[in-house]
């Protein structure tokens, strides 16, 4: 009953935003009462209740003219007000993503769970797809170190931030995700546009028109009716570099470029950014500091998550935040990047680069189906119960696998685990307080 009343209340908000028409409606009703009061009073031999109004306004006029004039004014005002209000209400009903929804979104925003998700690639959209059904206050902070594929070509040709990861997460937040995915994720397969994503070209064009990637992202979110925000981790032009030990020549190789790091096929010892002092985008830092829940991952450990966390200001903001910070470990290992890694080795790699205790909780998968998995799927196995990370972090294991693509996270399962973890965190804080 409460939710039905709330929806009716929000549907009436367009009327409340049109006080001049409500005022006109009231004046029209008064004039109709004036027109009808005297004849009815004479009929029933009663004193008209509007006598004082008619004295002030219309008493000097003859009775017949007074009736006609008051009635005409009342009908015109009443008709104009009804037409205007009807148009306002029809707009609200026929266009659910217009002002009614925006008013409601603003009203709920202060009370909704503020979630910040950090990373990139195909993993981060899983968080957004699941959590967008639980809260509209979502912010994705996305890596901008990509230098391969369509994004890399655009980056080199146009001198802008690579749009690919930004595009993936905007599509995940879109209201009509299926339609937006088909359009935004569409890749041309011939001609000069071969390999380019339509969404990449769209964002690039908007960036050129508006003069900045910041404005382009805002306009893209507006066009696609996105609930939430997608922010770059930095506006600086950064390059991801790596030190990779290769077993064949027992040599530590220096690799430049995100797309080249996984191609060598060795063990990644370290990744770092050039320039090393790239600064975090201020709005991304603000979002982290204001968050209730910060989710790191899932996503490529060395080429999506760490390039974001290594930016000056990101890890510092996470540590300064009062939010519950969760690391979501990948379901499967990635060839050339995390071959043979367990949950513990993922966490140790993060600690090696950004220090311990950046997060309080680890969420990891413990279901390893073979159906639909294929030969190349190698699951990330749980950490040993006595491993050192078990003493530093709380770990929640659950079935997080997607039925059709079991090497990926199921968005609904992941959202359920994250929301439950946050509820437990809040309950614990309240007991302590």
204-222 residue pLDDT tens: 999 999 999 999 999 988 8
Report pLDDT for 349: 98
Confidence of residue 364 (pLDDT cuts 50, 70, 90): very high
Query: Residue 55's pLDDT is what?
Result: 44
CATH 3.40.50.10680 correct for 107-432: yes
Residue 157, pLDDT score: 87
Contacts 24+ apart (CB under 8 A), 211-215: 213/160, 213/161, 213/163
User: SS3 letters for 218-237?
Assistant: HHHHHHCCCCCEEEECCCCC
Q: Which residues contact 294 (CB under 8 A, 6 or more apart)?
A: 115, 116, 117, 118, 288, 318, 321, 323, 324, 325, 326, 359
How many Cβ atoms from other residues are within 10 Å of residue 224's Cβ? 21
Nearest residue to 410 (alpha-carbon basis) of 325, 294, 331: 331
pLDDT tens, position by position, 19-49: 555 666 677 677 667 666 656 555 544 444 4
d(CA 408, CA 276): 32
Q: Where are the domains of the chain?
A: 2-106, 107-432
CA distance 395 to 355: 18
Residue 342: C-alpha distances to residues 315, 330, 331 (Å): 23, 10, 10
- The answer to whether residues 305 and 297 touch, using CB atoms and an 8 Å cutoff, is yes
The residue ranking higher by pLDDT, 276 or 29, is: 276
Give yes or no for a contact between 320 and 359, defined as CB atoms under 8 angstroms apart: no
pLDDT of 191:
81
Query: 68-104: per-residue pLDDT in tens?
Result: 666 677 677 667 767 665 655 554 444 444 444 444 4
Nearest C-alpha neighbor of 421 from the set 287, 294, 318, 297: 294
Render 257-286 in DSSP notation, one character per residue. SHHHHTTS-SEEEEEEEESTTPBPPHHHHH
Q: How does pLDDT run across 130-182, given as a tens digit for each residue?
A: 999 999 999 999 999 998 888 888 898 888 999 999 999 999 998 765 676 67
Q: Is the pLDDT of residue 203 over 90?
A: yes
């Amino acid at each position: 009953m409460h939710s039905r009343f709330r929806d009716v209340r929000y549907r009436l908000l367009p009327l409340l935003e049109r006080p001049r028409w409500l005022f006109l409606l009231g004046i029209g009703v008064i004039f109709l009462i004036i027109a009808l009061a005297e004849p009815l009073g004479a009929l029933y031999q009663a004193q008209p209740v509007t006598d004082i109004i008619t004295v002030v306004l219309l008493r000097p006029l003859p009775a017949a003219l007074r009736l006609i004039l008051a009635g005409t004014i009342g009908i015109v005002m009443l008709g104009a007000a009804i037409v205007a209000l009807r148009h306002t209400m029809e707009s609200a009903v026929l266009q659910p993503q217009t002002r009614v929804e925006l008013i409601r979104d603003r009203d709920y925003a202060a009370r909704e769970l503020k979630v910040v998700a950090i990373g990139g690639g195909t993993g981060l959209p899983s968080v957004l797809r699941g959590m967008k059904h639980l809260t509209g206050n979502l912010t994705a902070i996305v890596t901008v170190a990509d230098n391969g594929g369509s994004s890399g070509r655009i980056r080199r040709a146009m001198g802008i931030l690579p749009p690919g990861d930004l595009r993936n997460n905007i599509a995940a937040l879109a209201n009509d995700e299926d339609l937006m995915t088909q359009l935004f994720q569409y890749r041309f397969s011939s001609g000069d546009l071969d390999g380019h994503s339509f969404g990449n070209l769209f964002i690039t064009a908007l960036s050129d028109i508006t003069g900045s990637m910041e404005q382009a992202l805002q306009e893209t979110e507006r066009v696609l009716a996105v609930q939430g925000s997608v922010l770059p981790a930095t506006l600086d032009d950064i390059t991801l570099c790596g030190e990779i030990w290769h077993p064949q020549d027992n040599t530590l190789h220096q690799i430049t470029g995100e797309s080249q790091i996984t191609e060598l096929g060795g063990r990644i010892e370290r990744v770092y950014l050039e320039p090393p002092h790239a600064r975090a985008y201020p709005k991304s830092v603000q979002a982290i500091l204001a968050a209730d829940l910060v989710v790191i991952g899932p996503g490529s450990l060395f080429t999506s998550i760490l390039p974001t966390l290594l930016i000056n200001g990101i890890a510092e903001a996470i540590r300064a935040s009062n939010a519950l910070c969760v690391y979501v470990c990948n379901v499967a290992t990635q060839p050339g990047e995390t071959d043979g890694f367990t949950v513990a080795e993922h966490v140790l790699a993060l600690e090696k680069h950004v220090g311990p205790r950046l997060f309080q909780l680890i969420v990891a998968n413990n279901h390893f189906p073979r159906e639909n998995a294929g030969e190349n799927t190698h699951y990330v196995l749980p950490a040993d119960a006595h491993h050192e990370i078990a003493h530093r972090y709380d770990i929640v294991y659950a079935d997080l696998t997607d039925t059709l693509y079991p090497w990926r996270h199921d968005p609904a399962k992941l959202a359920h685990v994250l929301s439950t973890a946050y509820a437990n965190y809040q309950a614990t804080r309240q007991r302590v307080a």
